[in-house]
Amino acid sequence: MKEQEQKERIPADPYGEEGLSLLREAVRDRMSEKRYRHTLGVEKKAAELAAVYAPEKTALLRAAALLHDLTKELPAEEQILLCRRFGVSVPRDCLESPKLFHSLTASLLIPEEFPLYADPALLQAVARHTAGHPRMMLCDKLLYLADWIEDTRTFPGCVKLRTYYEKKIRKADTEAKRLAALDQVMLRSFDVMIREILAEKRPLALITVETRNALLRDLAERKNERKTITHGSEK
């Protein structure tokens, strides 16, 4: 009874410490211990990244991190049923690579099961955290990266990416350099992911290629802008 009451408690501020603590308890019931440890790791890393890039988004990113893998452990058949229930046509990319389903289905399910967290920026970050998106916003990027480099990840590609991010961010002493560092680290993650998919002869989602190309374009534009500013100041 007590436990039930606690689960149904509505926090005064869903993004305050009490709200996030209740959310943590609720998601814990929905996943394996391993997935929950990863989820807590993503929450911690998302908060660290938010402190660097967007302190005002810290609570939103912590909540997004807690919810990002909500449906990860559901079998493909259930993911398909969820898409149908929400009137969303089942994407071909997801049928070919069922790992991609959970970003979409979590973003569909959150407003229904966790309506206090149905914030468009949170839902978008969750929806884009696996395959990316060619127009990723800052929150999307921070959740995506936190998922890759959180401290419980031991896959060599993730460990190397974490070290690469730490090296880049140490050297970045202006906001422009920090944003460029973020895109460079993101680009490397897509390179690692695409290489792995090709090596394993798995289908490559078009959106993943488009996201990588967009990051390349953004980085080239930033470089050109820097050149223009440098030349301008020399005159």
CB of 65 to Fe ion, least distance (A): 8
CB of 143 to Fe ion, least distance (A): 9
Instruction: Give start and end residues of each alpha helix (H) in 114-205.
Output: 120-127, 138-149, 156-171, 175-199
Q: Kindly tell me which of 20 and 143 has the beta carbon lying closer to Fe ion.
A: 143
Selected range binding Fe ion among 69-77, 114-122, 176-184, 217-225, rule: CB under 5 A:
69-77
Selected range binding Fe ion among 63-71, 112-120, 154-162, 220-228, rule: CB under 5 A:
63-71
Instruction: Give start and end residues of each alpha helix (H) in the chain.
Output: 2-8, 17-28, 33-53, 58-67, 76-85, 92-96, 101-113, 120-127, 138-149, 156-171, 175-199, 206-234
- What does the block give as tokens for 88? 């969303």
Would you say how long the chain is, in residues?
235
Interacting residues with Fe ion between 158 and 217 (CB under 5 A): none
**Cα–Cα distance, 163 to 192 (Å, whole number):** 14
CB of 23 to Fe ion, least distance (A): 16
Selected range binding Fe ion among 26-34, 66-74, 161-169, 179-187, rule: CB under 5 A:
66-74
Interacting residues with Fe ion between 117 and 156 (CB under 5 A): 147
CB of 106 to Fe ion, least distance (A): 8
Q: Kindly tell me which of 22 and 127 has the beta carbon lying closer to Fe ion.
A: 127
Query: For the chain, what is the radius of gyration of the CA atoms?
Result: 19
CB of 20 to Fe ion, least distance (A): 17
- What does the block give as tokens for 14? 């869903």
What are the strands, taking DSSP E only, across the chain? none
Q: Does 43 bind Fe ion (CB under 5 A)?
A: no
**Cα–Cα distance, 70 to 35 (Å, whole number):** 9
CB of 130 to Fe ion, least distance (A): 5
**Cα–Cα distance, 199 to 195 (Å, whole number):** 6
Q: Does 69 bind Fe ion (CB under 5 A)?
A: yes
- Count residues binding Fe ion (CB under 5 A): 2
Residues that bind Fe ion (CB under 5 A): 69, 147
